[in-house]
A and B are shown apart, each in its own frame.
Chain A
């Protein structure tokens, strides 16, 4: 088993005819993902390789029965694309787009609260259930089927963690990047609770970073509701306050959002803290 996606998930790609959209669509297809449709307004009726392209998400869903969407549209149109997918009845929306204005995301969050769907991202690498379904931009070959669930705010940092897990003989049930923006869809707690409920996930790795209080909230949740072992890592302990560290959400504001506070919360709530990224694979091996 796995969470949110598996080999039966039918996926459409919004922005499929763009550079990034077409490149990653091909990567996903070669990984085995069932990409059934693409959407680019004005290019309906065309094909991207063998994938039929539609003008609207509603049209694509009606024709193909897609239940998930992968979004590559440029940031000014990102919020609109997410809302279009939600309105068309797509139940899982994965938004890769980086740079969507925060006020747009606030409106999206409000809009989604009236719909039955899950948003992953934006500004994220996506979600992968190894050897079944990859909806995102992560390199597929580093993943291996197994029993560790991975959730992270980052992209390449997640690949590093997954690579070390695989090299240490630990496969993954599902890996999810929830994104580096301050306002996003699925949060740590949503993923942790799904991993807890998934019989095939035996342990979890949670990769956080400076900014906000999502890690602290998740740590409290873990203490109260998670019985499986959790290994935690926080990036940005050396980051200066008041500066945005690449991700829009990675900023220490005054005394809030520091790495120290997050590590303290991890330790106080029974999470196994990895303080040296180079050893995270080894630590997971010891804990799991």
Chain B
């Protein structure tokens, strides 16, 4: 689960990770009042969306007066911000963050993330702050410092020094940096983060270190023990269809193709999308109803797919294991009765109780095309949309 920069900085502050003074603003009036409350100019007006690259997209601007804040806030609120991470459609800006301007001596990069291969928390740092870190890693890997922290041991003093000296910080900034990194690590593990990224981390003219940006992603599987963090979820940043699907515990991702699909199991669902693409069509979504879906969940899944105007045909691919084919078929029939089916539907079912499942579909009077195997299903779905 991602959160906004302003929310991340509020959490940083709770953990004594230095951040500039700032105020969130949801209206132009709040933006002006927030800027005035900071007690001096310039201030930075920052669009709050769940995507990086905001500066280049025109979502981060400097203001030298309340009037300028008003102009910028009016422009930004409601604008569609397109960055390299939002895709071509961009995101509508609904929230701003007004922050005190800083005297920047140097921009650095700092991040913490879970490393899958070593099962440790890895700290990455670089003197090349403000740049795309993947680009730095590709072109000048020697300029990236990596330190692996064993979560059973926690972060050690020598590791803080390894990063601090690696960044070639001035002596006067070293103590402040060590404390920032130690506190950031505490925040990371205490909140079950999967990623914390500060780009840039700045060194100020008076040798202070400070998080100028903040990107935080939490491990969704751990949110059951962080009810307070759950409140930071911003549904405005999520696709409404995805929000609805998630309320039924369906794994759904909205894509831009025209073949809707419903599958049980994440791996098979991905493979089914690939099959659709191979057949010359393109998937409208990823939909995994899960291993043990109920008829009701299946019904909701089918209804969500059918409600999507870009869907021109639907491929249902079920390998019944725990989810029995008869339970699945009942869900499909219920949804079809309630919603009505106006597009071709190809069904491929295999596994537990497949005969009962096929019978239920055959008895339903629904106009379904059944496929004998995956190759057959791919051909039939391609024929339906082309």
Interface residues of A (CB under 8 A from B): 20, 23-24, 75-76, 99-107, 109-110, 125, 137-139, 142, 152-160, 163, 180, 182-183, 207, 209-210, 212-214, 217, 233, 235-240, 242-250, 254-255, 275-279
Complex formed: what's the CA distance from A238 to B261 in Å? 13
Q: Which of B36-44, B111-119, B355-363 contacts A (4 or more CB under 8 A)?
A: B111-119
B274 near A236 (CB under 8 angstroms)?
Answer: yes
A249 near B267 (CB under 8 angstroms)?
Answer: no
Complex formed: what's the CA distance from A214 to B119 in Å? 13
B147 to chain A, nearest CB (A): 16
Complex formed: what's the CA distance from A24 to B151 in Å? 34
Contact of A156 among B224, B225, B268, B375 (CB under 8 A): B268
Q: Which of B238-265 contact A (CB under 8 A)?
A: 251, 253, 255, 263-265
A155 near B267 (CB under 8 angstroms)?
Answer: yes
Interface residues of B (CB under 8 A from A): 85, 114, 116-117, 119-121, 134, 138, 150-152, 189, 192, 194, 219-222, 224-225, 251, 253, 255, 263-271, 273-278, 282-283, 286, 288, 291-292, 319-322, 350-352, 373-375, 377-378
Which residues of A have CB within 8 Å of B374?
160, 277-278
A237 to chain B, nearest CB (A): 5
A209 near B152 (CB under 8 angstroms)?
Answer: no
Complex formed: what's the CA distance from A108 to B374 in Å? 39
Give the interface centre of A75, A183, A249 by most chain B CB atoms within 10 Å. A183
A153 near B116 (CB under 8 angstroms)?
Answer: no
Q: Which residue of A lies closest to B133 (CB)?
A: A254
Complex formed: what's the CA distance from A227 to B266 in Å? 31
B152 near A210 (CB under 8 angstroms)?
Answer: no
A154 near B119 (CB under 8 angstroms)?
Answer: no
A20 near B292 (CB under 8 angstroms)?
Answer: yes
Complex formed: what's the CA distance from A163 to B270 in Å? 18
A182 near B114 (CB under 8 angstroms)?
Answer: yes
B219 to chain A, nearest CB (A): 5
**18 interchain pairs, CB-CB under 8 A:** A24-B322, A101-B222, A103-B222, A105-B119, A106-B114, A139-B352, A156-B268, A157-B270, A207-B267, A209-B270, A212-B117, A213-B117, A235-B267, A236-B274, A238-B276, A243-B253, A246-B251, A250-B270
Complex formed: what's the CA distance from A41 to B256 in Å? 48
Which residues of A have CB within 8 Å of B225?
76, 101
A210 to chain B, nearest CB (A): 7
Complex formed: what's the CA distance from A239 to B274 in Å? 8
Q: Which residue of B lies closest to A152 (CB)?
A: B267
Which residues of B have CB within 8 Å of A139?
320-321, 351-352
* Known pairs A238-B270, A278-B375 / 12 extra A-B pairs, C-beta < 8 Å: A75-B224, A102-B192, A106-B120, A142-B351, A182-B116, A183-B119, A207-B267, A238-B282, A248-B221, A250-B266, A254-B134, A278-B275
Complex formed: what's the CA distance from A260 to B231 in Å? 37
Closest 3 CB pairs of A and B: A154-B267, A246-B266, A156-B265
Complex formed: what's the CA distance from A180 to B266 in Å? 9
Contact of B114 among A183, A237, A243 (CB under 8 A): A183
Q: A182-B116, A238-B277, A278-B373 are in contact. Are A103 and B151 (CB under 8 A)?
A: yes
B221 near A156 (CB under 8 angstroms)?
Answer: no
Which residues of B have CB within 8 Å of A183?
114, 116, 119
B266 near A212 (CB under 8 angstroms)?
Answer: no
Q: Which residue of A lies closest to B323 (CB)?
A: A156
Q: Which residue of B lies closest to A74 (CB)?
A: B224
B310 to chain A, nearest CB (A): 15
B243 to chain A, nearest CB (A): 15
Q: Which residue of B lies closest to A106 (CB)?
A: B119
Contact of A238 among B152, B194, B219, B274 (CB under 8 A): B274
B292 near A235 (CB under 8 angstroms)?
Answer: no
Which residues of B have CB within 8 Å of A159?
319, 321, 351
Contact of A160 among B220, B224, B271, B283 (CB under 8 A): B271
Which residues of B have CB within 8 Å of A100?
221
Complex formed: what's the CA distance from A102 to B219 in Å? 7
Q: Which residue of B lies closest to A217 (CB)?
A: B117
Contact of A154 among B220, B266, B276, B375 (CB under 8 A): B266
A245 near B134 (CB under 8 angstroms)?
Answer: no
A118 to chain B, nearest CB (A): 16
A163 near B114 (CB under 8 angstroms)?
Answer: no
B291 near A246 (CB under 8 angstroms)?
Answer: no
Which residues of A have CB within 8 Å of B375?
276, 278-279
Q: A240-B255, A278-B374 are in contact. Are A102 and B221 (CB under 8 A)?
A: yes
Complex formed: what's the CA distance from A76 to B85 in Å? 33
A157 near B351 (CB under 8 angstroms)?
Answer: no
Complex formed: what's the CA distance from A153 to B268 in Å? 11
B189 near A156 (CB under 8 angstroms)?
Answer: no
Which residues of A have CB within 8 Å of B322?
20, 23-24, 137
